[in-house]
Structure formats: structure tokens, C-alpha cells
Structure 1
Amino acid sequence: MLKIGIIGTGGIAAAHIDGYRRFADECEIVALCDVAPGRAAALRAQPGLTSARAYERVEDMLAAENLDLVSIATPPSTHAELTIAALRAGVDVLVEKPMAPSLEECDAMIAAATENDRILSVVAQNRFRDDMATLKEVLDSGLIGPVSHAQVSSAWWRGTAYYDLWWRGTWESEGGGCTLNHAIHHLDLTLWLLGAPRAVTAVLTNAAHENSEVEDLSVAVLQYDRALAEVTSSVVHHGEEQAIVVHGRHARVSQPWKVVADAAEPNGFPVPGGDPGRVAKIEALAASHRALEHVGHPGQIGDMLGAVRERRRPAVDGTDGRRAIELVTAIYQAGIERRTVDLPVSADDPYYRAGTLVERAPHFFEKTTAVADLPGAITVGSSSAIDD
């Protein structure tokens, strides 16, 4: 029975707790930790957690417990420090997205995992969704032909009070705005589906949140060898209607699911009705997808538990988490410096280092409110929305 600790007991911790509960025959949550006085102890009242011990200091939890795995579900600026502490204590780590605000911190986390022979995984739960797995299977099949254009819409909506929470809305404590903390899901999926681009250009703004210094909207263009991908990162889009649309030479596929395949007349104009044979092949491949046993956080947690037991690489490791941060870094650098940024980002680039965004990023507005907690539940507006 693997012994699990949860570090950070705010809203997203519930997804981790639910995930571990799905595997009650494999693991047990034995420790909860949160720096907010009484918060971890209050969570123990939930079913299945009454025997867990509560801590307010990570050092105390790591010293007192013989843990196999911890989930880190704290604000982004704390991820590196907490992850490294757990790895050095001999504990495997599943850390929430985003991995860390800087590539420097990501590399320190990966190094700590290697040096201590521990497993590090970064949450990318949307890879564990049937719709996204189906899209990847179709793209990998080659049926749509070489990719020419992708449109990725990470469309969220948040009211101004969202940024009143103490750690949100500043470059120092949140690490960035919607590009880092919301679109990280879609950026990870873009890398998973299409691979890494060779260059990035972007623009950033704050269109609707005057109590936040970070961006609430960015638009990036990713350049591949011949293809382009547009990525919109937003918390200003009403309805949260998200989509990933991929156009290949022979067909277009997307989630929400749609398949279109055009064919050319001798003069190059579209044939009425397109290419129904190719559409049928793509639809048949999609229909053959074998449903995942567990989806979202439970899917990734199940994989991570297997990795811990078998001492193997998890489906999403620290290198995967770092790739997403590298893309975010390039988007921020391109938007702030108003230029195209080539990838990869090298270690001698100022934007590789922790603190550069704090020094160089614009304050679109000054943060005006900082409350300890916000009332109410986390809600996602659209049925097509990527899990937060």
C-alpha cells in the first residue's frame, strides 16, 4: 500500500484526493499539509481522510511520515522549493501545473529527481481524456496528411474578484497570467499533438482585469518547419468555448469533434462534397478508440502510482512539464520584447532565469486587493472546456 501525502489543500487538491480514492486498494492518503492554520486539519473531516495526519510545515510532514508519493497542489511560485524538498527526502512527486514559473526552476527540479533517483511527474490531466486521445490517434495515423495550420483556443472567463486571491495577479507570486496558469493545458496538448515549434511570436495585454498586473489575454503564433499554429490564451472569453482545430493537407480534424476533407477539381477549386472516403476512414479510426479506464486526474494518478511501484518513467515526466514552460517562456519573451523568439531557450538567455519576468514584465495594472481565500466552488463554463 503506497503512502500518499498532499501538500496544499486548496481547490485543486480535491481533484488529487478524488484520484487517489479511485485506487483505494493501491494507496492511502496518510498526510495533509497546508501553511494556512487549521486548513489541513479541517480537510480531515472528509470521508476517507479521518486517519490522515495534518501538518502546517512541509518539513515536519516529510520528517515524520514514511511517504512514497506526494501531490503538490500549491501556488506556482512554491512548486520548485516544495518539489525539491520532497525529492531530497526520498519521496516521489506529482506536482500540479504549471511546473514552475521559470526554466531555471524546472531544471533544478529535474536535477533533484535525477540526483535522488526519484520520479517526478507534472500534472497534464487533459492528455488522459478520450477526446484528446482520439485526436492524437488520428493525427499520428497520418490520415490528414502533413499539418499546415492549427488553431488552439484556450478560452476561459474569470470575473475581477478572481484576482483578489492573495497569490493571483502578480508576476512574483503567480508567475504570470492566463498564458502560464490557464493555457498551460492547451500548450501542453499542442506540444503533445504537434511537437515543439522552432520559433514563437506573441502579443500580451490585460483587457478586463484592472486589479491584476499580469496578462489576461495573449495571442501567439508558433512556427514549425512549414506549419503555423495560433494559440489564444484568455480569461476574457464568455462561454469558455474551447477548441483545437488541426488542418492537414488532406483533411481537418478538431475537438469538439469535426472532420472535413476537401478534394480539388482540375482547376484547384474544391470538389462539391469533398473526399467522403477519407472522412469515412478518419471517422472509423476515431470510432475504434478504446475508452480510457480512468480520465483526467484519476487517469494520470493511476499512471503515476504504477510508475512508483514499477520504478518506471511516468506518462508525463519533468521533461514534459519543462517543455510547456519553455513554450510559455518564449511567448512571454516574444510579447514583452516585441520580437520573434527562437527555440530552444538557452540557459544564458535572461528569460531562462527565475526573476526575469518580475524585473521585465509590464504591470498592466497594479494589484489592488489581496484576500486570504475566496468563497464558492471552482466552476468551468463550457462542456468543451479543458479541465483547470
Structure 2
Amino acid sequence: MRPYRAVIVGTGGIAHAHAEALTSLGSSRVQLVGAVDVDAGRAEEFAKKWEIPQAATALADVLADGVDLVHVCTPPGSHVELATQALEAGATVVVEKPIAVSLASVDELLAAEASSSGSVAVVSQHRFGSGARKLRGIVESGSFGRPLIATCHTQWYRDAAYFTVPWRGSFEIEGGGPTMGHGIHQMDLLLATLGEWDQVTAVAARTSRDTDTEDVSMALVTFDSGVLASVVNSVVSPRQTSTLRFDFENATVDLEHLYGYTDDDFTVTAAPGFEDEVAAAWSKGPTGQPSNHLAQLSAVLDGLDAGTTPPVPLRTARATLELVAAIYKSAFLARPVHRGEITPQDPFASRMNGTGAPWSGS
């Protein structure tokens, strides 16, 4: 089998994580054949760094060469257009989070995927670390008892200079603030662990950053299983951390990291009297895999090899984006929001700020 031919669209910071992962997988399995960026100089510089033979300013310029994989690493507002273009060429698309700036845009992409021989995988690298996979196995087996409560906190720090980049802090281009662009990875892992959510009650505020979006949000999420979870998303927290905590009947599992975790970032605490069985259960399952792009992109290629849909499929990722939209709707309308409530006719389906952020004056 010939190696897969891959291109990267958008050559900013996150594109280097994709290039490093693809390079690590070996040229006999995948080859980077194109780098695309609206800034020709940046595309050429990226291509030179990663020894990519072609640099271009338009995706169409490289699709004609029989590309198998298109990695979309541009600002969120352009994801759907670029992914659709790649799907029309029959390529498989790997899209960075957030997938799109609205649920309506995701549904457009789902329609494009349905009429294509290609498919869409959404970057959700925290699902692929061995610790998270082991934790999901614990939930499925019930070996720690039922999960009861959880916390999911993304408390990062982005100063005023960070938001001088034109597309940042914009509902139109970025889709939202830390709820959309920063906490979405932790929230995705929360859903991957606990399953379907049922209701959310949230608040959001613009506390100090000069943006159109929030810089802090907080939410209480109820899951179908009855689990209650608190969610915090912030870009005004000087001590940066990403934390997830799951309290089961017989144990607590803590994960604390920043942008990626290893097995050592998990702590397991048994309830009194359950020490031996908790230790035995946690000792089983996968080990040694950090959460990173390499883990997910390797799984994407495995899916292509097997002729199956690569993980994480677009419809799965949509569920995470629906939670984001529900947090905004609940915060801006000051009421609980249920899963499935945001129908195509809802203003919060077509844009995350829906009827307008309270501080926008609209």
C-alpha cells in the first residue's frame, strides 16, 4: 500500500503539532506533500522547516495531486469551507477544534460529508491518552461504582496582547471565548468519559479582557446518568491549570495538567475499605500513551487502513459543540437549557451569541 498523501492548511502554531506527528509516523505510512497558507511567505517557511515539497496559498492548488488527507489548522471561521472543499475532492479531513463557529455550520459539513467518499475526523487528542482510555473502561465496567459528581476546569491566562490578533475574541471568526476555544478540549473529555448530557445552567461574563466574547464562563451540567458536573472556562487565571475530577461511589480520580497529560498526571484515591479493589482495577488497562496529536493521528491512519470511519467522527464532535452552544444560551438567557433544545431555527444554532451577549448592547 502506498503511503497516504497529506497536506496541512494553515501553518500557524498548531500546524507544527500536526506536522511533527505526521513526520513521526514515518514516510512509509504518510507523506506531507503540501503546505497551504494565505500568507505565501509563511507557507514557504513552514514547507522548508518540515521538508514539504509544495507550498501554496490556496487549497485547490494542491488537491489536484491525489491528496488523501487534509489537515485544517486555520481559524475556526474557515474550517467548514475548507473541509467541504477537501471532501468534494474525496479526501479525509482532520479538523482542529472548534470544528466550526456554529451548530448550523457543522450540520452543513455533515451534509457535505454524507455526499462524499471522504470523512471528517475532529481533533480530540485528550480522548486518546492511555489514562483517559483506562478511565472510560472504569466507567463502563463499574469497578469504582457509579460516577456521582465531576468537575471540569480550564483556567488559563491570556493577556490583552493575545487578543490583538484580529480573529481572536470574536463570535464571527473564533466562535466565542474560552468556552468555545479553550475549554472545549476538557469538556470533550468530560463527555467522552460520562456520556450524554441532559441539561445545563450557566453564567458567562466579560470581566477584564477587551473582547466581544466572554472571558469566563461557569456551568452546572446534568448528565443522563444523573451525574452532576461543574464546568469552569477562563482566560483570566494567572496560575494556569486544566483539571478534571470524577467522584465515584468507591474512588476519586483526579487529572491535572495544562495542555496535555501523561499517566503520571492521574491520581486515584480509594474510599475507605475499597483500597485493594480500586488499586487492582486501576492497575489494568492501557498505559504509557500521553494525550497528543500523534496518538489520535495514528488512530486516524489505522481507521483508513481498516476502511472504517476515523475517530473522532464529526457527529460525535457535534455533541461537544452542542454543549458549548447550550452554555452560551443558558448564560445569555439566564435559564436552564436541555440537550436537543437548540433546533435549526434557534438563533443559538446559527451563531454562538444567539440573540446577543448581555454586554454587547444587542
**Partner residue of 1:14 out of 10, 13, 16:** 16
The answer as to whether partners of 1:333 and 1:351 remain within 8 angstroms in 2 is: no
Equivalent AA in structure 1 for residue 15 of structure 2: A
Q: CA deviation at 1:362?
A: 4.0
Listed one character per residue, the Cα deviations across residues 251-295 of structure 1 (whole Å, up to 9, x for unaligned) are: 322214333344xxxxxxxxxxx22xx232222222233325674
**Who is 1:224 aligned against?**
223
Deviations 1:303-334 (A, max 9, x none): 11122233202231101211110010000110
The alpha-carbon deviation at position 228 of structure 1 amounts to: 1.0
Q: Does 1:139 align with 2:135?
A: no
Q: Secondary structure at the match of 1:66?
A: coil
- For 1:109 and 1:44, locate their aligned partners in 2 and report how far apart those are by CA, in whole Å: 28
Q: Distance in 1 between matches of 2:275 and 2:157?
A: 34
CA distance in 2, matches of 1:249, 1:355: 39
Q: Return the alpha-carbon distance in structure 2 between the equivalents of residues 204 and 136 of structure 1.
A: 30
Match of 2:268 in 1: 259
2:294 pairs with 1:325: no
In the TM superposition, 1:143-154 aligns within 5 A as 143-154=143-154
The residue number in structure 1 matching 2:128 is: 128
With over 3 angstroms needed to count, the CA separation of the structure-2 counterparts of 1:363 and 1:66, relative to structure 1, is farther
Aligned residue pairs total 348
Q: Structure 2: state its 5+ residue gaps.
A: 257-265
Query: SS where residue 151 of structure 1 aligns?
Result: strand
Deviation at 1:363, TM superposition (A): 4.6
Aligned to 1:372: none
Cα deviation digits, residues 148-196 of structure 1 (max 9, x gap)? 2111111211111111111101111111000010111011111100012
Greater length-normalized contact order (CA 8 Å, ≥ 6 residues apart): 1
Question: TM-score normalised to the size of structure 2?
Answer: 0.91
227 and 117 in structure 1: CA distance in 2 versus 1, 3 angstrom threshold: same
The residue type equivalent to 2:59 in the other structure is V
Q: Is the strand fraction higher in 1 or 2? A: 2
What are the residue-to-residue correspondences of 1:73-222 with 2, within 5 Å?
Answer: 73-209=73-209, 211-222=210-221
CA deviation after TM superposition for structure 1 residue 204, in Å? 0.2
TM-score by length of 1: 0.85
Give unpaired runs (5+ residues) of structure 1: 263-273, 366-388
Mapped to 2, the partners of 1:280 and 1:238 lie a distance apart of 39
> In the superposition, relative to structure 1, how do residues 151 and 353 fare at CA in structure 2: closer, same or farther (>3 Å)?
closer
Q: How far is the alpha carbon of 1:250 from its aligned partner?
A: 2.7
Aligned residues with identical type, % of pairs: 32
Looking at CA atoms only, which structure, 1 or 2, has the larger radius of gyration? 1
Question: How far off is 1:248 after superposition?
Answer: 2.0
Q: Tell whether the 8 Å contact from 2:95 to 2:121 is kept in structure 1 after alignment.
A: yes
Q: Does the CA-based 8 Å contact 1:191-1:324 persist in structure 2?
A: yes
Query: Secondary structure of the equivalent of 1:104?
Result: helix
User: Alignment partner of 2:241: what SS?
Assistant: coil
Show the counterpart of 1:56. 57
Provide the secondary structure at the position in 2 that maps to 1:314: coil
